[in-house]
Chain A
Amino acid sequence: MLAELIFWTPGASTTAQQVDWLLLFLVLVCGSVGLLVAVLLFYFCIRYRRGRVPKELPPTKKPLLLEWGWTLAPLGPFAVMYVWGAHVYLTAYTPPPDATPTYVVAKQWMWKFQHPEGQREINTLHVPVGQPVKLLIISEDVIHSFFVPAFRIHMDALPGRYTSVWFQATQEGTYHLFCSQYCGTDHAGMTGQVIAMKPADYQKWLNFESDGSLALRGRQVFLKYRCLSCHSTNAHARAPVLEGLFGKSVPLKDGRVVKADDGYIRRSILKPSDQIVAGFDDVMPPFEGQITEEEIIAASAYIQSLEPGGTPSRVEDYPPPTKTPAIKSEDIDHAK
């Protein structure tokens, strides 16, 4: 009863259980030291109040041992707190390899989610219980922070860069999602919910809501922005083939080698000149200001899905890349 009054937010993820145990440890250690100090303060104040000690006392001694004792003694518990805390933290920010990537785009004052299966949600995130979910988070404007108290996780959404955190829900339920980094007028309204469902129900929800996978939408982005005119399998292609690129190391013209992850792909779309692949020229126009974060995410998902031989062949009678063409669904089917 009392416990529920002071501690009512459930711990509904694997991380939450670890954080709560750690908290309990800290409360016990700090609580007992704090109690010791409080008791000593009280005892001394009463025992040594004026007029209470009439008999002669020896002059002040300086027990150096005591000084060094309480200087060094905290190091022990501190080391435990530090190592344990670091372990929980590293676990929470190192996603397991099989985690489902889900993209989060924050903006004043809403949360947008994109599932790899293609569902898009606003301010609500459906997740399966018992399966790890990895979030790739980015902001379109100022800094926000993705905070689900029941999962005990937190990650800032930065403009211009992906950040990441993962969780695995352990209980079905609907949980608060808060923006916890102050972001302007309606900061307090930038809330939502995370709905953890049984895997079977989740699968049902996925199928019900689906309008084509994220990668498929990325393919449309790819065609819309005429990426194909250069990134083709044509022998005279002016840009690297993107098949099987994701996760590989890419040697750059300036000698650096970078890993092809979401961040790399995003930067290469927005500011291609910063990272010219070895053997190619700086011919790609920067897409900064022309493409939305959500389109970038879709394009990135598409590139991840590209297997050898998967690049569509160029359709030569498309007009040159001046205006955005409307993509008809027949085009996509046809290319398949």
Chain B
Amino acid sequence: MPSEVLVKPILRRRPPQVEHNYLNASRGMASWLLTKDHKRIAILYLIPITAMFFIGALYMALVRIHLMTPTGLLLSPDAYNKSFTAHGVIMVFFFLVPVVPAVLGNFCLPLMIGAKDLAFPRLNLLSWYLYMFGAIWAMTAILAGGVDTGWTFYTPYSSQSSHYNVALTMVGVVIAGFSSLATGLNFIATIHWLRAPGMSWFRLPMFVWTLYATSFIFLLAVPVLAIALILVIVERVFGIGIYDPALGGDPLLFQHLFWFYSHPAVYIMILPGMGIVSEVIPCFARRELFGYKFVAFASFGIAWLSFFVWAHHMFVAGISAYSALVFSALSFMVAIPSAIKVFNWTATLYKGSITFEAPMLFCLGFVALFTFGGMTGLFLATLGVDMHVHDTYFVVAHFHFIMVGGMVIAYMGGLHYWWPKMTGRMYSQWWSKLAALIIFIGFFLTFLPQFVLGYNGMPRRYHHYAPEFQAWNVLSTAGSSILGVGYLLPLFYLPYSLRHGPRAGSNPWRATGLEWQTPSPPPRDNFEVTPIVVRGPYQYPQGKAQHEP
């Protein structure tokens, strides 16, 4: 089996004495909480972000159990509304948006371009404190009384309700947003200034390209979100009419501002995932990434176009027919760079020498689910279909295909890919492959039924529903419990590997990236000698050598 082939030489190479690396460079709480090392900050992010993921998932578990019967099983309407809101707010703003840039990007970006650290290590630490502050702030509001507006905070509902938790949650979201903005700024500066000698733009790994594109979205979009949410707070606290028509405001203005951030945010979430897949597939297929420049420019195409499609969330919200026509056309355009990527990933497999370790399984799953999810996006871009399925479970299923089937699975792929680099240990191949398989199956079972529910007319955010929708809801709940098992498995075998896993060695996947040319875990300053880059990122040996173990 390929996996054994991988692990054996590593065991033989086990070093005789303990190396100095970033984990044991210094000790004590303070050395972590005041660290300026990008690798330690990545670990600092990993822990709360993982916690947020499971809290968000727990809220959804409540919702899915509740929806097993038409009248609802366990929650009151208000508790139900607060649960799906908590799920959305936590997952979107405190997990999906930051997770890949803050954890994997933070850890890998300097390593991948041959730098010692990010350009502004102190700013990086500040980002982490901002994230923690925002997360704790929002969680306090969510736990203290709950927010029932949905993660979209639509006005005038959100600006009218009588308690202050809505405003508090928004403050938390804005703070976390600025944490991401600072990270984005840091990434851009790092990519511009700190590339190793010879690391030209077109030798950058694709993950770096996608982080670069993502950082620009952060920079341009986060301020708009901040404005939108701060105006809600201004309206609530001072009674100045901005969104509430009773005060002379315009309720649609909020939707425009909110989606001006939140649509690009979808690409904030998916682009780094695409970057991960573009790293993993060449590595496990032992092939150069097909169409490197096309994939790189497609990332920027997506980032750029993502700013001009926001009103596709408002086709039935009372916008003019002309703007609907324009936004529909632009939404189709954004599908083209996404399609380019799918075709190029598929073509990368051609004439490869493919093995199927966990990172590869996750990334192949990503390609399948992202393709499916992206295509259903075409349905929603089509005006004539959207006017029927808008705000139904069809939309819920579509964006979970992109956000969970795409992003979460890509993140899992990336985490499994770089875990040996981050920790120096290899996890169980058997358990990790099993987890990938379970997540893939559970995911399909959870969300395919929701397309059916949506087209037949079940609206989203319903506490109870008409009886004919029950069968597919039960199926979806059953799927989500399988998905839940899949999510829980890594929580056991990954930490287990820290103590009991075999040492991974510097390059367990025999990958070509710079990050694999330094020991695992890397030393405090990443590289003993500054590397000099002479090749592109995916120069895997071809011909006979491609197939050597």
Which residues of A does B touch, CB under 8 Å?
A: 5-9, 18-19, 22-23, 26, 30, 33-34, 37-38, 40-41, 44-45, 48-51, 53-54, 56-57, 59-60, 62, 66-67, 70-71, 74-75, 78, 81-82, 84-90, 92-94, 141-143, 145, 147, 149-150, 152-156, 158-161, 163, 176, 178-189, 191
Indicate if the CB atoms of A37 and B291 lie closer than 8 Å. no
Chain A hits for B332, CB < 8 A: 78, 81-82
Chain B hits for A26, CB < 8 A: 378-379, 382, 385
Indicate if the CB atoms of A66 and B387 lie closer than 8 Å. no
B203 close to A (CB within 8 Å): no
B227 to chain A, nearest CB (A): 20
Chain B hits for A183, CB < 8 A: 157
Chain B, range 159-191, C-beta contacts under 8 Å to A = 160-161
| Secondary structure dominating the interface of B | helix
**A154 vs B291: C-alpha distance when bound (angstroms):** 42
Please, what's the 1-or-0 string for B232-258, where 1 marks a CB less than 8 Å from any CB in chain A? 000000000000111000011000000
> Interface size on B (CB < 8 Å)?
89
Q: Which of A84, A93, A182 makes the CB contact (< 8 A) with B461?
A: A182
Indicate if the CB atoms of A53 and B351 lie closer than 8 Å. yes
CB contact under 8 A between A158 and B349, given known A26-B382, A82-B328, A86-B383: no
**A159 vs B352: C-alpha distance when bound (angstroms):** 59
B296 to chain A, nearest CB (A): 12
**A178 vs B461: C-alpha distance when bound (angstroms):** 12
- Whose C-beta in chain A lies nearest to the C-beta of B468? A8
Indicate if the CB atoms of A45 and B464 lie closer than 8 Å. no
CB contact under 8 A between A57 and B542, given known A70-B340, A156-B317, A188-B464: yes
Indicate if the CB atoms of B384 and A154 lie closer than 8 Å. no
Highest count of chain A CB atoms <10 Å: which of B388, B463, B547:
B388
**A45 vs B161: C-alpha distance when bound (angstroms):** 54
Indicate if the CB atoms of B349 and A41 lie closer than 8 Å. yes
**A218 vs B346: C-alpha distance when bound (angstroms):** 66
**A141 vs B355: C-alpha distance when bound (angstroms):** 58
CB contact under 8 A between A182 and B351, given known A7-B455, A81-B378, A89-B315: no
Chain B, range 323-362, C-beta contacts under 8 Å to A = 324-325, 328-329, 332, 335-336, 339-340, 342-344, 346-347, 349-356
8 closest pairs, A vs B, by CB?
A149-B457, A88-B384, A160-B245, A89-B383, A85-B382, A44-B349, A180-B459, A152-B388
Chain B hits for A37, CB < 8 A: 342-343, 346, 367-368, 371
B154 close to A (CB within 8 Å): yes
**A145 vs B154: C-alpha distance when bound (angstroms):** 13
Indicate if the CB atoms of A57 and B543 lie closer than 8 Å. yes
Chain B hits for A188, CB < 8 A: 77, 461-465
CB contact under 8 A between A145 and B316, given known A7-B455, A48-B354: yes
**A51 vs B1: C-alpha distance when bound (angstroms):** 11
Indicate if the CB atoms of A44 and B543 lie closer than 8 Å. no
B112 to chain A, nearest CB (A): 22
Indicate if the CB atoms of A9 and B457 lie closer than 8 Å. yes
**A70 vs B381: C-alpha distance when bound (angstroms):** 20
- Whose C-beta in chain A lies nearest to the C-beta of B156? A142
B78 close to A (CB within 8 Å): yes
B285 close to A (CB within 8 Å): yes
Chain A hits for B328, CB < 8 A: 82, 85-86, 89
- Whose C-beta in chain A lies nearest to the C-beta of B466? A176
Indicate if the CB atoms of A78 and B335 lie closer than 8 Å. yes
B544 close to A (CB within 8 Å): yes
**A186 vs B81: C-alpha distance when bound (angstroms):** 9
B392 close to A (CB within 8 Å): yes
B372 close to A (CB within 8 Å): yes
B287 close to A (CB within 8 Å): yes
Known: A87-B384, A89-B328, A143-B156. 13 other contacts (CB 8 A): A26-B378, A26-B379, A45-B354, A48-B352, A50-B355, A51-B547, A53-B547, A56-B544, A155-B316, A159-B245, A176-B466, A178-B457, A182-B154
